[in-house]
């Protein structure tokens, strides 16, 4: 499973990445976090506002910092393996 944080590295993008890391800790789900900062790559996701979060290539939220709890729900819904 891959979590992609889409954004240019602004404070909100960094907060979203930290929330994703927190969600992984809380759920015990194993996933890779990738920060996508290249604007051309971000545009491929058809995202109009950053930060955005995608799981396995599917954008689940854009234009806001999603809470660790909501990211955890996204991960479980995406079929993440919970350990612990």
User: Residue 42 sits in a domain of what CATH number?
Assistant: 3.40.30.10
Q: Which helix (H) or strand (E) holds 60?
A: strand 58-62
Whether 20 is covered by a domain: the verdict is yes
Confidence of residue 83 (pLDDT cuts 50, 70, 90): low
Whether 82 is covered by a domain: the verdict is no
Question: How many structural domains compose the chain?
Answer: 1
Whether 84 is covered by a domain: the verdict is no
Q: Do 35 and 9 touch, CB atoms closer than 8 A?
A: yes
Would the pLDDT of 82 be above 70? no
Whether 51 is covered by a domain: the verdict is yes
Q: What pLDDT, on a 0 to 100 scale, did the predictor assign at position 84?
A: 44
Residues with a catalytic annotation lie at 10, 13
Q: Which residue has the higher pLDDT, 84 or 52?
A: 52
- Expressed as residue numbers, the domain containing 34 is 2-77
Whether 40 is covered by a domain: the verdict is yes
Whether 32 is covered by a domain: the verdict is yes
Task: Give the number of residues written for the chain.
Answer: 84
Put simply, whether the predicted model's pTM sits higher than 0.85 gets the answer yes
Confidence of residue 80 (pLDDT cuts 50, 70, 90): confident
Q: Could you read off the pLDDT of 27-55 as tens digits, one per residue? A: 999 999 999 999 999 999 999 999 999 99
pLDDT above 90 covers what percent of the chain? 92
DSSP symbols for 16-35: HHHHHHHHHHHH-B--EEEE
């Amino acid at each position: 499973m891959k979590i992609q944080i889409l954004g240019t590295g602004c404070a909100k993008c960094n907060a979203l990445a930290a929330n994703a890391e927190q969600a992984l800790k809380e759920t015990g789900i194993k996933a890779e976090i990738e920060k996508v900062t290249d604007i051309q790559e971000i545009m491929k996701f058809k995202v109009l506002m950053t930060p955005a979060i995608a799981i396995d290539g599917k954008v689940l939220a854009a234009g806001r910092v999603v809470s660790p709890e909501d990211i955890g729900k996204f991960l479980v819904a995406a079929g993440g393996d919970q350990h612990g």
